[in-house]
Amino acid sequence: MAPDDATIIPVTGSTTESTYDVVVGRGLLGRLPELLGERVRRVLVIHPRALRATGDTVRDELAEAGFTAVTAEIPDAEEGKHIQVAAFCWQVLGQNDFTRSDAVVTVGGGAVTDLGGFVAATWLRGVKVVHLPTSLLGMVDAAVGGKTGINTAEGKNLVGAFHPPAGVLVDLDALGTLPKNELVTGLAEVVKCGFIADPAILELIEGDITAATDAGSPVLRELVERSIRVKAEIVSEDLRESGRREYLNYGHTLGHAIELAERYSWRHGAAVSVGLVFAAELSRMVGRLSDTDADRHRSVLESLGLPVTYRRDRWAALLDGMRRDKKSRGDLLRFVVLDGVGRPGMLEVPDTSLLFAAYQEIAS
């Protein structure tokens, strides 16, 4: 497909820094200089070990276009979201004399866009970042919206900053090498967008599972674009999560606790899948969601091959992890729940026995 067939999804924040385009299409690398802008001279390309060839291609294209481009190769997946990895990137930036008018480009899945975004947010108190997400999850969620961060021993994304990118290039060609199981875990966030805002997403998946899990299909492209639009619309209104942005955290309170309990051996999307079913059970239990809509969570996620249950014997660890969720206020745990498909809301839970009861519905 020619670059001309690209779809532009705008994020329109309240400042120039929080206003940018998400470009979706194929063969988009040529657009990178335009997103970086005229003042940028040096670019640090951050990529995981597993995507060295792609990182090198991006570096070479930038050099060809006249930039001074260097790469920083980081550990794969969640191992990259570590303070020592950020320190390594800061060192590379320092050793190569990066100034405030220079930039970071991330090439990889959500772990890389989170780490690279955090490095850009903190170097000299903030330099430009452009994301080139290569996983489905990175494309539909992590690269958009400006949340950046790293994990600590106590939990997921506990340190970070809001730092919107200068632009995002969603090149669907990158999905050609993505393993199927990684594509499927990315679909958990797509399903989340369906439940909180765009039921057509659910209908597309339920209507043709084969197409929904086919990296080259028009259905997958529509799912990508619809999910990005959901996120772009919400973060345009509420960058710093002072209100509506919390809805994007549907399924994440338990999901992040599972990731921690599993020492990050589970993919984020898999943990969010279980978290979505839990949040639906909670919504049903407090009388806010119908049986049909709650059951639909389990059926659509199961049909994609995503997990919908978790170990009964891990409840204490999960509760501990959930207390450190960023939506908590003091001792009060807060959850995103649904009042129907496309109708998210918040639930404050002072009594953890309710959570335990909901957990019984997903415990295996």
Ligand X SMILES: O=C(O)C(=O)C[C@@H](O)[C@H](O)[C@H](O)COP(=O)(O)O
Ligand Y SMILES: NC(=O)c1ccc[n+]([C@@H]2O[C@H](COP(=O)([O-])OP(=O)(O)OC[C@H]3O[C@@H](n4cnc5c(N)ncnc54)[C@H](O)[C@@H]3O)[C@@H](O)[C@H]2O)c1
Binding site residue list for NAD(+): 76-81, 110-114, 134-135, 147, 156
Q: Smallest Cα–Cα separation from 103: which of 170, 36, 54?
A: 36
Residue 178 interacting partner from ligand Y, ligand X, none (CB closer than 5 to 8 Å by kind): ligand Y
Residue type, 323: R
- By C-alpha distance, which of 299, 16, 304, 36 is closest to 185? 304
| Site residues for ligand X per CB under 6 A | 141, 145, 147, 157, 189, 241, 245, 248-249, 252, 326
Q: Tell me if 253 contacts ligand Y by CB under 6 A.
A: no
CB of 190 to ligand X, least distance (A): 11
Q: Which is nearer to ligand Y, 42 or 165 (CB)?
A: 165
- 249 noted as active-site residue: yes
Phi then psi dihedrals of residue 250, to 5 deg? -50, 130
Whether 237 is catalytic is no
Residue 249, binding choice from ligand Y, ligand X, none, Cβ under 5 to 8 Å by partner class: ligand X
CA–CA gap between residue 87 and residue 272 (Å, rounded): 29
Q: Specify the stretch interacting with ligand Y by CB under 6 A; choose among 70-78, 91-99, 190-198, 325-333.
A: 70-78
Query: 357, 347 in Cβ contact below 8 A?
Result: no
End-to-end CA distance of the chain: 46
Query: By C-beta, is 1 or 332 nearer to ligand X?
Result: 332
Residue with tokens 């996120």: 231
Nearer to ligand Y, 137 or 285 (CB): 137
Which residues sit in the known binding site?
76-81, 110-114, 134-135, 147, 156, 189, 252, 268
Which listed residue (138, 165, 194, 321) binds ligand Y by CB under 6 A? 138
Q: Is 47 a catalytic residue?
A: no
Coil vs helix vs strand at 144:
coil
Instruction: Write down the number of H helices and E strands in the chain.
Output: 14, 11
SS3 content of the chain, % helix, strand, coil (to 5): 50, 20, 25
Active site residue 147: yes
Question: Residue count at the site for ligand Y (CB under 6 A)?
Answer: 31
Residue choice 13, 25, 55, 109 for contact with ligand Y (CB under 6 A): 109
Whole-number Cα distances in Å, 74 to 89, 137, 267: 9, 19, 18
Active site residue 151: no
Could you give the residue numbers annotated as active site? Answer: 125, 147, 189, 231, 241, 245, 249, 252, 256, 268
